[in-house]
Structure 1
Amino acid sequence: MTDFITDFADQADILPVVLTVACIMGLRGWWQGMYVWSVVIVLTLGIMLLLKIAGLYYAWLTQTVVISPSGHVASACVAYGGLLVLLWRRQLVRYPVAMLVPLLGVAVVIGYTRLQLQAHTMGEVIVGALVGCIGGMVLGMKCGPVPPSLWGYLLPCVVCIAMVFHGFHMGAETTIRHVFSPEELFPTHL
């Protein structure tokens, strides 16, 4: 069950979901939502990439274990948690701190699976949750009012795409470590 849940947060599942959401927002004419959604997702994933690279270099310079914040937690938080925030935006906009409830709910579920699989430490899960929750909060505050007609198209499509791509693995962590490995770029250090 743990693998089943955590697979929804793999980049091979998240990226098609994110693209589907952006396309549906655009097709339904909600340009502000599409723009904010796209920018927030790209920034969140970009920040996670930079943090993962920083963790590689920190470990290399200090000769310690690699620190790798949880991309699964951050991406699930901003994508799935962000969709929940948008779904309930009308109720949550009066109390922006309440947006943390669905965001942290997603973070706790995915974070728990990552810890159970021993893929990350508690600190790495917390960093991923922090980045994902910030992205989800920005999404909720900047998207503006959500057209009610959007949900009739969006939710079924997101569920279908998430199920179709469920179980696929992109191997983003391995690719990041291979492409940005300090040992490959600076082989004569120390």
Structure 2
Amino acid sequence: MIRFITDFADQGDILPVVATVAAVMVWREWRRGASVWLVTVVLTLALMLVLKIMGLYYAVFMQARVFSPSGHVASACLVYGSLLIMMGREAFIGLPTLTMLPLMFVAAVMAYTRLVLHAHTVSEVVTGAMIGSIAAVVLGFKCGPVPRALWVYLLPALVGSAFLFHGWHLGAEAAIRHLVLSQAASASHFMHDRLV
């Protein structure tokens, strides 16, 4: 069950969900929502990539443990959390803090799965949750509430694409780790040879 839940935030599932949501927003002519959605998602995922690469280089050059913020937690908060915020805004008019409850639930559940699977440390899931949650709040409030007419299309498309691609794994983290660690190790050996 833990693996089943955590797979909803794998990049092999999240990226098709992001594309599907954007396509539905454009198709139903909610261009503001689509543009804010895509820009925020791309910037957040790019930030996570940069942090992972920096953590890998730091580990090699400082002979330290790798620090890799959880992309699963950040992605789940960003994608599912922001959509819950956008859809819940009208329900909680006058009580904006209540719109954060679904986001906090998503963050807690995904963080728990990553910890149980020993995929990340507490600090890595907290970092992922913070980045994903901040991006989700920005996205949720910049887009504004999802137009009611869009719900009938957006919800089935979101759920359908999430289940259709569920279990797909891109292996992006392993590829990044392999590429960066091999390049960093080569650079480290080169620098050592030059100093000796």
Which residue of 1 is the match for residue 56 of structure 2? Answer: 56
Distance 1:59 1:37, change over 3 A: same
Q: For residues 46 and 94 of structure 1, what CA distance do their matches in structure 2 show? A: 34
1:25 counterpart letter in structure 2: M
Which residue of 2 is the match for residue 26 of structure 1? Answer: 26
Question: How far apart are 1:106 and its partner, in Å?
Answer: 0.5
Question: How far apart are 1:180 and its partner, in Å?
Answer: 2.6
Question: How far apart are 1:89 and its partner, in Å?
Answer: 1.8
Q: For residues 48 and 188 of structure 1, what CA distance do their matches in structure 2 show? A: 28
Question: How far apart are 1:95 and its partner, in Å?
Answer: 4.7
Question: How far apart are 1:36 and its partner, in Å?
Answer: 0.5
Question: How far apart are 1:97 and its partner, in Å?
Answer: 3.9
Which residue of 2 is the match for residue 102 of structure 1? Answer: 102
Which residue of 2 is the match for residue 117 of structure 1? Answer: 117
Unaligned residue ranges in structure 1 (runs of 5+): none
Task: Give aligned pairs, total.
Answer: 190
Question: How far apart are 1:98 and its partner, in Å?
Answer: 3.6
Q: For residues 47 and 95 of structure 1, what CA distance do their matches in structure 2 show? A: 31
Q: For residues 36 and 95 of structure 1, what CA distance do their matches in structure 2 show? A: 24
Is the CA contact (8 Å cut-off) linking 2:22 and 2:34 kept in structure 1? yes
Question: How far apart are 1:8 and its partner, in Å?
Answer: 0.4
Distance 1:53 1:94, change over 3 A: farther
After the TM superposition, which parts of structure 1 deviate over 3 Å for at least 4 consecutive aligned residues?
91-99, 184-187
Distance 1:97 1:53, change over 3 A: farther
Is the CA contact (8 Å cut-off) linking 2:86 and 2:141 kept in structure 1? no
Distance 1:141 1:4, change over 3 A: same
**Identical-pair percentage:** 54
Q: For residues 141 and 94 of structure 1, what CA distance do their matches in structure 2 show? A: 14
Which residue of 1 is the match for residue 190 of structure 2? Answer: 188
Output the aligned Cα RMSD: 1.5
Is the CA contact (8 Å cut-off) linking 2:11 and 2:169 kept in structure 1? yes
2:108 counterpart letter in structure 1: V
- The worse-fitting range, judged by mean Cα deviation, of 77-86 and 89-98 is 89-98
- Residues 63-102 of structure 1: CA deviation (Å, up to 9, x unaligned): 0111100000000110011111111122456454444322
- The worse-fitting range, judged by mean Cα deviation, of 166-175 and 21-30 is 166-175
